[in-house]
Amino acid sequence: MQIRDGVAVITGGGSGIGRALSLELSRRGASVVVTDVDADAAARVAEECGSGASAQGLDVRDAEAFTKVIASTAEVKGRVDFLFNNAGMGVAGEMFDLSPAHWERIISVNIGGTVNGIAAAYPLMIRQRSGHIVNTASLAGLGPAPLFAPYAATKHAVVGLSRSLRLEAERYGVRVSVLCPGAIETPILNQDNPADLPAVRTKPDVRRFLTRLSGRPYPVEKMARETLDAVERNIGVIVLPASARLSWRLGRWAPSLVEKVLRRELARERAAGQGEGAGVG
């Protein structure tokens, strides 16, 4: 399936990976519908994309609203060829410091939002006998991620969902891929947990921790190009960049080695956090 002349809906398109994918989809000739919980951000990205792009506000936790976005896109464009379930959020901190509210929020966005997108688009794609669903997970969905347990748990779920659905969907001509990026240069590296959730005392410095683990964050524009190359080749599990693929393979072939590195960096991050007053009181 070629991206040129396709119709693509993308969630979380107002910034970061979603914005980069929206722009690259447009450069490749797709008609893009940019959605985001921040409708103004989605509109700005759609304007960057140029003619053929449009924007809608969408909270992916709202299944009815998601269904309306897909239905209205199909009505206007005639079909939906690609759904990029990209919207997501992170929660970081030691497990003992996280509340049920942290878990409820991240599960509703990262898992619930992905399920809502599939429920909205997959039946349509079955009727079309074509389509490609791309779910954004993470390298943290392929291995352990201490200090990011809620994020890792939800991204493992997205990986399992995607790989299972990929086999089911083949019968109907529908493709499914899961995107598992490592550290990518986006604003999320500098963000805190959502401000309306209880504060935690043990949150790691995301940028520092991930940079120590995997090196300098990868440029998001390069990641978007390589992602769409992989989508056009119908790769099932897309792991980017090359350093992330190496980590993934090491985790499969030598898990004890990866765990040794994680233990070392976990200890360093805990020590740094205590030095900054983030330890447990």
Active-site option among 122, 151, 172, 218: 151
243-268 as b/e: b if 16+ CB within 10 A: bbbebbeebeeeeeebeeebeebbee
Q: What residues have CB less than 8 Å from 169, skipping those under 6 apart?
A: 122, 125, 133, 175, 176
Say which residue the tokens 């103004």 belong to: 40
Q: Is 151 a catalytic residue?
A: yes
Say which residue the tokens 């007053």 belong to: 277
Q: Provide the annotated active-site residues.
A: 151
